[in-house]
Amino acid sequence: MDHFAWEAVPREQLNPSFCRRVFHGSHITVARLELVEGAVVPLHQHENEQISMVETGSLRFEFPDE
Decide if 31 is inside a domain: yes
Q: How far apart are CA 31 and CA 21, in angstroms?
A: 6
Q: How far apart are CA 66 and CA 64, in angstroms?
A: 6
Residue 62 has pLDDT above 90, yes or no: no
pTM, rounded to two decimals? 0.77
Decide if 21 is inside a domain: yes
pLDDT confidence of residue 60: 81
Amino acid at 43: L
**CB count in 10 Å sphere of residue 27:** 9
Decide if 28 is inside a domain: yes
Query: pLDDT exceeding 70 applies to what percent of the chain?
Result: 95
Counted domains in the chain: 1
Decide if 27 is inside a domain: yes
What is the per-residue pLDDT across 18-47, written as a single tens digit (0 to 9) for each? 999 999 888 899 999 999 988 888 777 778
The candidate with the shortest Cα–Cα distance to 54, out of 24, 8, 27, 37, is 37
**Could you tell me the residue range of the domain that residue 15 belongs to?**
11-37
Residue 63 has pLDDT above 90, yes or no: no
Decide if 56 is inside a domain: no
Helices (runs of H) and strands (runs of E) counted in the chain: 0, 4
